[in-house]
A and B are shown apart, each in its own frame.
Chain A
């Protein structure tokens, strides 16, 4: 059972996430959007959405710090366990509560604003349940591990080594098994979230427009002279379809 949960499932999740993203990018770019509802309602969105998203960015940074950076490294630079916990509580707690507050406000808005609720698909509702569960359980683990103080669980000795071991394809199942139930739950819900990710509106996160900072303001789409004749050849065309002006039909140069 443990092998299935902590040895197999993470890889299944990764395959579905990566495969799903590639599939969706290839076949459903038109559906790849934030599906904004700001047109219907702006007042609550302008509070809830930034709080949620910026909170989430901090939460992601916190996960990186806790999971990827080994405990030995932070100790090597002289960071005590207490200081680390204080940080985790302070930054992680605020970020977590912000994220939770943000999503609660957004869900409230979605439920109470008529047009916004009508634009909510079943897919969205399921996604909201999983996303909120992941945030709630995550916040629970953070608060629990801090308020229990010394008795609290040091996830950097269990969850984090397991997480890192996944990437070298030698999952440290024993370490993860030793983590308490709350962490198991948060991890499982998290994996569920990433599994459904490519198939929900969450995909918009993967096209965060960072290139905007660098691209020129005015975009021209230029025709590539070398491609003109060869385009139909370069791009696979559906069987049975031949393009206008492709070699077999093009009589201009004969």
Chain B
């Protein structure tokens, strides 16, 4: 047994209102740079829907994840090592920009600068790739809120599969449609296929917390990871020529703060905490024959942090006591393994994903309410869950490789919790037959309710800080100090994309120091002419923030007079 710690996330889909705050704050924090315009480390999809990139779940086309070969051995679906080498010169299965979308902005300047005329000036959409006029045809979230469902619904790979397998068709008329939101980040898998696909070995899993990262120095841009990841959460930065991915906000996690997407989540639906798992058991667990047994196999890999044998093994592996304590209090472990209400996304990809989802009960509740039933009564809810085959089967295709019973069991637990707690808050005696109907005690159910419904900040996020003695091994510490050329950052002869990348902390630190110590515009030098609103203190006018004054003579951007404008 090799015990390792893994940061995990659980998202409670019942609470997601699809506001995209997580996506926007994540983009502001991580992918607001040139080359990553089209990249959303976090995105929120409306299901049923095609997702982003379009139809990424169609693995017959995209070849992501793992599959079993004839001898039952785990192999990359896109091909083994040798065939990958032959595909090096032009990756055979590769999403193009049109499969994501062509990012754009608007020509806002025209609104201000247009000469007086009869027509209203219009801000035309401009492609962020070519800079030319563009026609907006698609985006990362085009079919939000079932936009265009009757026309596009059948393009959802999950709907397609369900239709193929069942005789009756899934109706997508608006009235009969169910809908929910699915926020997605990198799964930080235990058995990541992106990592296995990387010819350079640049993608690695951190021993300390299991976060999967790309070494930007080692990445050579062969793009095999993008094919390898079945969730298509690997992205190619087309300016630097390197792969980038969700970082699980490691600089925040290391100091005990939740990720940006979790911190800013309006619905407070995200949970962060530790799993302890047996690293030696991962490959065998990912290789079980029946895809529907992958969930159980994944459960077996997760270790009970209260088990003395596990604690002893964890200590032997150098896991500190405060981390073991955090693992014992972990909300993600509780939701995934103790209460068994959180399910992994697409376990059939065999990557052992570590971002879990509590499937939504709300489509069922809404339907009952519309039909005039008491939607809080567990009898009604249980009946409805059994009767409503389509939502359950759809959810099963997402979370249990098609095992509808497992999803039904989770939904019934959620329904029972609803019913049980309503009884209590109405002042009735707790009806312990309700939790018993789903195999739980009243006490367990109350604790689950506290975690899921009250969801206090400190109960949602149990993040042990990285140890100082480990600090040298963690990215921020490691590279911020041996960073060549120092934080001053001269431009390299090969352009901005070359040279060592500026560590996040260094850039922020410098901007902060500039802001606090300088009398002029802060961050002008350290940000190399880019405008970062976070570092603008209202002091002066950074280049590029405002349009040129009309009566002032046009000056080149580099002219010193322009820069020193008060």
Contacts and interface: CB of A to CB of B under 8 A. Distances in A.
Interface of A: 27-42, 45-46, 48-50, 52-54, 114-115, 118-119, 121, 123, 199, 204, 207, 209, 211-213, 215, 217-223, 225, 227-228, 231-232, 235, 237-238, 241, 243-245, 252
A38 B94 contact: yes
A213 B495 CA distance: 33
Nearest to B481: A243
Contacts of B381: none
Nearest to A38: B94
Nearest to A113: B130
A118 B34 CA distance: 14
B201 A212 contact: yes
Interface of B: 81-82, 84-85, 88-92, 94, 96-97, 129-132, 191-192, 195-196, 198-201, 203-208, 216-223, 236, 238-242, 279, 282, 318, 468-473, 477, 481-482, 484, 486, 492-495, 497-501
Contact of A219 (B204, B239, B470, B471): B204
B18 to A, nearest CB: 28
A34 B89 CA distance: 10
Contact of A115 (B129, B199, B201): B129
Nearest to B94: A38
A30 B498 contact: yes
B221 A36 contact: yes
Nearest to B242: A33
Contact of B97 (A32, A39, A121): A39
A204 B220 contact: yes
A31 B94 CA distance: 22
B89 A50 contact: yes
Contacts of A215: 201
B90 A49 contact: yes
B240 A245 contact: no
A53 B222 CA distance: 14
Contact of B205 (A207, A209, A221, A241): A221
Contact of B499 (A28, A37, A222, A225): A28
Contacts of B499: 27-28, 30-31
A41 B318 CA distance: 48
A138 to B, nearest CB: 20
Closest 9 CB pairs of A and B: A31-B498, A209-B199, A33-B241, A217-B196, A29-B217, A35-B241, A223-B473, A33-B221, A53-B89
| Chain A interface helix/strand/loop/mixed | loop
A209 B86 CA distance: 11
A178 to B, nearest CB: 38
30 contacts: A27-B484, A28-B492, A29-B217, A29-B218, A29-B500, A33-B220, A34-B220, A34-B222, A37-B238, A38-B223, A39-B94, A40-B129, A41-B96, A42-B90, A115-B130, A119-B239, A123-B494, A212-B85, A217-B195, A219-B198, A219-B201, A219-B204, A220-B204, A220-B279, A223-B472, A232-B472, A235-B482, A238-B484, A244-B468, A245-B472
B241 A42 contact: no
Given A28-B499, A207-B200, A119 B494 contact: no
B63 to A, nearest CB: 15
A219 B482 contact: no
A121 B85 contact: no
B166 to A, nearest CB: 35
Which of A29, A46, A54 counts the most chain B CB atoms within 10 A? A29
A204 B241 CA distance: 11
B241 A227 contact: no
A22 to B, nearest CB: 15
B269 to A, nearest CB: 30
Nearest to B279: A220
A252 to B, nearest CB: 7
B206 A221 contact: yes
Nearest to A214: B81
A104 B497 CA distance: 27
Contacts of A218: 191-192, 195-196, 205, 282
B89 A35 contact: no
Contacts of A29: 217-218, 500
